[in-house]
């Protein structure tokens, strides 16, 4: 049973995990250093715990305690009980979704584990926007993809905003970081995946045509600004495009991914 600890001082060092949640750079540093991540709201906290992440602590106002009673019952981590005003003061925003929890990250699974049995996987190069990464995880899970692989510089799926947008998919869909950027697609090819890069390259064919009849597919997506690196674009087995209206050459990467996942799932 989590021990309830009332705190009324925003400077209390036990609240360190919850400081300045809107300061992206500070949070990246703090979360990496301490190997933690933040979950926000009753549903997300519950999913994170059920996915096997050990809570370091909980932070909530008294009226949020009941909703997570079962989770607190089974945890040994302290639960800091604070006023909503204090929660806002510490985190830097109005915590309207209720409970927060700080949880331990776990070692990322190996590529072998994540790819075992997978037939459709998403491969994200250097997406910088946490909302996009979260939305892509959600779409991948909903549209029948089996795993997500992230290039070393891709944004963190366990960042608070990404978790929120992913609606729990970050805990249900297997994902990991690619150990190597340069030969990542070559390696996937050797593992039996046809790598299909979404791009505006001249030799790109419509996505339906590119994936038709393929067995194991790895759909490869590039960053928001510049798209795929030349290395990935050229080392993919196929280049595909989502046909678009004349004069318009781009969809948001999350929208493009949803369309490509839908089409690929029906190959």
- Given 135, 170, 209, 211, the residue binding a second copy (CB under 8 A): 135
State how far the Cα of 17 lies from the Cα of 34, in Å rounded to an integer. Answer: 9
Residue 181 interacts with a second copy (CB under 8 A): yes or no: no
User: What is the side-by-side order of every strand in the sheet holding 36-40?
Assistant: 4-6, 79-81, 55-60, 100-104, 36-40
Q: Residue 36 and residue 31: Cα distance in Å, rounded?
A: 5
Q: Which is nearer to a second copy, 91 or 235 (CB)?
A: 91
CB atoms within 10 A of CB 7: 16
Please give the Cα distance from 32 to 11 (Å, whole number). Answer: 22
Q: Which residue lies nearer to a second copy by CB, 104 or 208?
A: 208
Check binding of 144 to a second copy (CB under 8 A).
yes
200 is a contact residue toward a second copy (CB under 8 A): no
Between 116 and 244, name the residue whose CB sits nearer to a second copy.
244
Among residues 130 and 184, whose Cβ is nearest to a second copy? 130
CB of residue 262 vs a second copy: minimum separation in angstroms? 5
Q: Which x/- pattern over 231-250 shows residues binding a second copy (rule: CB under 8 A)? A: -----------x-xx--x-x
- Report whether 120 contacts 241 (CB < 8 A): no
Select 23 or 180, whichever has its Cβ closest to a second copy: 23
In angstroms, give the least distance from the CB of 254 to a second copy.
Answer: 6
- In sequence order, the β-bridge partners of residue 253 are none
**Which residue in the set 27, 46, 53, 138 belongs to the binding site for a second copy (CB under 8 A)?**
138
H, E, C per residue of 205-243: EEHHHHHCCCCCEEEEECECCCECCHHHHHHCCEEEECC
Q: Is residue 252 at the binding interface for a second copy, with CB under 8 A as the rule?
A: yes
Whole-angstrom distance, CA of residue 42 vs CA of residue 59:
11
CB of 119 to a second copy, least distance (A): 13
Q: Kindly list the distances between the CA atom of residue 157 and the CA atoms of 149, 176, 261, in Å, as whole numbers in the listed order.
A: 11, 10, 19
Binding-site member from 165, 196, 198, 219 for a second copy (CB under 8 A): 165
Residue 69 contacts a second copy per CB under 8 A? no
Angle subtended by helix axes 130-142 and 253-265, to nearest 10: 20
- How far from chain centre, in Å, is Cα 161? 9
Q: Which of 79, 167, 204, 237 binds a second copy (CB under 8 A)?
A: 167
- The reply on whether position 251 binds a second copy by CB under 8 A is yes
Between residues 58 and 171, which has the closer beta carbon with respect to a second copy?
Answer: 171
Residue identified by tokens 């779409």 is 139
Confirm or reject binding of residue 262 to a second copy (CB under 8 A): yes
For residue 89 the two structure tokens come to: 């003061």
Summarize as ranges the residues that interact with a second copy (CB under 8 A): 131, 135, 138-139, 141-144, 165, 167, 169, 242, 244-245, 248, 250-252, 254-259, 262-263
């Amino acid at each position: 049973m989590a021990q309830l600890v009332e705190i009324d001082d925003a400077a209390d060092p036990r609240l360190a995990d919850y400081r300045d949640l809107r300061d992206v750079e500070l949070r990246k540093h703090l979360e990496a250093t301490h190997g933690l991540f933040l979950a926000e709201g009753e549903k997300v906290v519950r999913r994170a715990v059920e996915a096997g992440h050990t809570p370091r602590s909980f932070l909530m106002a008294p009226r949020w305690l009941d909703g997570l009673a079962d989770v607190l019952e089974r945890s040994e981590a302290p639960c800091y009980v604070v006023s909503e005003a204090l929660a806002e003061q510490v985190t830097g925003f109005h915590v309207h979704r209720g409970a927060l929890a700080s949880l331990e990250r776990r070692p990322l699974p190996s590529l072998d584990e994540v790819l075992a049995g997978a037939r459709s996987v998403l491969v994200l190069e250097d997406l910088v926007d946490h909302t996009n990464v979260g939305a892509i995880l959600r779409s991948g899970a909903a549209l029948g993809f089996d795993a997500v692989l992230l290039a070393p510089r891709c944004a963190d799926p366990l960042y608070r905003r990404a978790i929120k947008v992913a609606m729990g998919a970050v805990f249900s869909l297997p994902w990991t970081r690619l150990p190597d950027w340069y030969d990542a697609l070559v390696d996937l090819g050797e593992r039996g995946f046809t790598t299909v890069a979404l791009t505006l390259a001249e030799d790109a064919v419509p996505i339906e045509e590119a994936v038709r009849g393929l067995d194991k597919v790895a759909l490869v997506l590039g960053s928001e600004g510049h798209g795929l690196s030349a290395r990935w674009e050229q080392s993919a087995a196929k280049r595909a495009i989502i046909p678009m209206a004349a004069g318009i050459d781009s969809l948001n990467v999350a929208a493009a991914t949803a369309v490509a996942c839908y089409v690929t799932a029906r190959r």
